[in-house]
Amino acid sequence: MNTPWTHTTVLLNEAVEALLSGNAAAAGTYVDATFGRGGHARAILARLAPEGRLIAFDKDAEAVAEAARISDARFSIRHQGFRSLGELPGASVAGVLMDLGVSSPQIDNPVRGFSFRFDGPLDMRMDTTRGESVAEWLATAELQQIAEVIRDYGEERFAVQIAKAIVARRQERGPISTTTELAELVAGTVKTREQGQNPATRTFQAFRIFINAELEELQQALEASLSVLQPGGRLAVISFHSLEDRIVKQFIAKHSKEVYDRRAPFAAPKVMKLNALERIKPSQAEVSGNPRSRSAILRVAERTEAN
């Protein structure tokens, strides 16, 4: 029997309103680059004109199965990560929405191995049909690499100590294979932590980001958005931690200004490709109703007329 894992979509109305530029019935082609469980996609479809089209991407097979429940001729989904956004025709899209991070069904399903709150296999792959799990990677990874991943993707100051504990455990009793084993090992290594935060939070975040190449894929998808967006098309990105948000913020800032070549002071500047529009946080009411939304930030930009 399948467990009905629930998911509350973060910044639902704000993201859809920003993406569709406030249009009551938007025509054109839009992209939900991270379908998840379809909260944003269904809201976009409710606002699309009859001639509109919505293309979704997701590399999670369970998300693709959920998308199959949408019987709307205007909708299609690709079982691909959003780094494949660039495969769409150039300047063919009126808006791109990216909702980053992990969906509640992924977190709350112990079999997926994303959470230290449940005992399950230490997997963490978004796409369980390919690639290696965290457990498989930790079975052979060198101490320095483990430490670098925890430090760079988890911003964990005890990264070296945790990596040493993982390697020592591997040598003494074999590789770590479950979420509980990893969480207990980290808890026994990290003696201090911010109030209200589990000691394993940063390590789990680091391994998830690394094993799915999340930051690299985000950078590739953002670059691809510039080529597929039409002039006036909207880019809307919801991030949930500082590493993601920093990449989005810097990307928008980089392309929201004219660039002068100091080696050719009289040459015309490279024109800006984006107009930065908004930075939106969840309301207090949303955070109260869905605590997982508290760290979310929605950044919105618009493709300029010039290429």
3-class secondary-structure state, position 146: helix
Query: Which element (helix H / strand E) includes 56?
Result: strand 53-57
> Mean pLDDT over residues 289-297, rounded?
91
Question: Between these two residues, 37 and 222, which has the higher pLDDT value?
Answer: 222
Q: What letter represents residue 247's amino acid?
A: I
CATH number of 12-104+214-303: 3.40.50.150
pLDDT at 1: 36
CB-hemisphere CA count at 13 Å for 124?
Answer: 27
- Measured distance CA(77)–CA(55) in Å, rounded: 6
Calculate the CA 262 to chain-centre distance. Answer: 36
Question: Between these two residues, 284 and 264, which has the higher pLDDT value?
Answer: 284
pLDDT at 4: 47
DSSP conformation letters of 286-306? HHHH-GGGTT-EEEEEEE-S-
> Mean pLDDT over residues 256-262, rounded?
66
Query: Which element (helix H / strand E) includes 137?
Result: helix 134-138
Q: What is the DSSP letter of 178?
A: B
Which single residue is written with the structure tokens 């929405």?
A: 97
Angle at which helices 214-228 and 201-211 cross, to 10°: 50
| Digit-coded pLDDT (tens) for 69-81 | 999 999 999 999 9
Does domain 128-211 bear CATH number 3.40.50.150?
A: no
Enter the pTM of the model.
Answer: 0.90
The two structure tokens encoding residue 137: 């990677």
The two structure tokens encoding residue 24: 């009551």
The answer, yes or no, to whether residue 258 has pLDDT greater than 70, is no
Question: Please, are residues 5 and 60 in contact by the beta-carbon 8 Å criterion?
Answer: no
Strand ranges (DSSP E) for 82-195? Answer: 93-99
> Mean pLDDT over residues 275-287, rounded?
95
Highest mean pLDDT: which of 2-16, 18-32, 49-63, 293-307? 49-63
The structural domains of the chain, with segments of one domain joined by +, span: 12-104+214-303, 128-211
CB burial of residue 82 (10 Å; 0-12, 13-18, 19+): buried
> Mean pLDDT over residues 132-155, rounded?
97
